[in-house]
Amino acid sequence: MTGRRVVITGMEVLAPGGVGTSAFWDLISNGRTATRGITFFDPSPFRSRVAAEMDFDAEAHGLSPQEIRRMDRAAQFAVVAARGAVADSGIDLGAEDPYRVGVTVGSAVGATMGLDQEYRVVSDSGRLHLVDYDYAVPHLYNYLVPSSFTAEVAWAVGAEGPSTVVSTGCTSGIDSVGYAADLIREGSVDLMIAGATDAPISPITVACFDAIKATTPRYDDPEHASRPFDGTRNGFVLGEGAAVFVLEEYERARARGAHVYAEIAGYATRSNAYHMTGLRPDGAEMAEAIRVALDQARMNPDEIDYVNAHGSGTKQNDRHETAAVKRVLGEHAYRTPMSSIKSMVGHSLGAIGSIEIAASALAIENNLV
């Protein structure tokens, strides 16, 4: 590692309640919620019937009819967000060495909506055991391979450096940005277009979370269904969205007069090797990741001013995360603001980590928790 500092100089957020960073910040800073009853399909057969859906018009946001046909909804999010982040950064990528510009995109479930929709088409809504591929869209293979997400983003911005999909479940959006920062620190690239996207609001996803009772059955009051850390919480609300950033080395950003939103001073990831969906109540492995990230940033626990929590609204997660923060911050945890934006924009699976990075950077930018 060269020890180079990594900063965020551009961002774009696509989230429920408003497409664009300013609309996203307006929503969360004013405490509004974008959760509602599911409208993308008939939710009546399901246990959980609420979601944080995004009102997204791909053509209105610059995608051509060919791009719209070729790309799954999640890929569309990623491309629109990437173009927005590059524009926000003020950088001319055409003047850069394309081999020194990389892309990382996090996604937990890939092209779920496209695959779900196309299965219904080729199976005649499940009637055909042997599906008829003649009815499939010509780009169905792109839905199957998540690497198509980074390919689309790389084509959109002209990046020819490392191109990677990071799929680590709900931490995909954090791990994607962390990996990108590491590539800059080690000197492998000069710039990274990094973030995450997911568009999982489909019958198959809702059925999967129904099966493990992770999502809330509270559909009589959709706007208040997601209740992180509340005594009446009973599961998360599924969401969708994307956030993409331009990352670059600090001295380089300063030399070109770039606006810096935040520095990525420390990053760490750990696995509990415990259960596919279960969490230990002591939060030990999360605490270790926090401790290592603090060490990397050369910060003491009492220097932390705010914790942006995963805060999914499941009893298991909220206990686990609370225990982890207290384990590392000690008494300072009781004086440190901690909140979850999932009460407003839902849980967009792999995308939410990047969206929460954006929320944290904007909290710094606007001096507002």
Distance CA 355, CA 243 (A): 5
- Return the DSSP state at 111: S
**Other residues' Cβ atoms within 10 Å of the Cβ of residue 237:** 31
Distance CA 220, CA 206 (A): 17
Q: Output the DSSP codes for 37-56.
A: E--SS--TTSS--EEE----
The tally of CA atoms less than 13 A away on the side-chain side of residue 65 is: 0
* Set 170, 275, 320, 332: catalytic member: 170
- Return the DSSP state at 190: S
Reply yes or no on whether 170 is catalytic.
yes
Distance CA 347, CA 15 (A): 10
The CA–CA distances, whole Å, from 147 to 112, 152, 202, 315 equal 14, 9, 21, 34
Radius of gyration from C-alpha coordinates of the chain: 20
Strands 50-52 and 36-37 turn out to be antiparallel
For residue 325, the SS3 value is helix
Reply yes or no on whether 347 is catalytic.
yes
Max CA pair span of the chain = 63
* Set 61, 129, 208, 310: catalytic member: 310
Contact 82, 71 (CB under 8 A): no
Q: What share of the chain is helix, strand, coil (3-state, %, to 5)?
A: 45, 15, 40
For residue 307, the SS3 value is strand
Say how far residue 20 (Cα) sits from the centre of its chain.
14
Residues in contact with 318: Cβ distance below 8 Å, sequence separation at least 6, in sequence order:
228, 229, 233, 311, 312
* Set 129, 139, 208, 347: catalytic member: 347
Name the residue with tokens 């839905």.
143
Distance CA 106, CA 350 (A): 6
Q: What single letter denotes the amino acid at residue 368? A: L
Reply yes or no on whether 224 is catalytic.
no
Residues labelled as active-site residues: 170, 310, 347
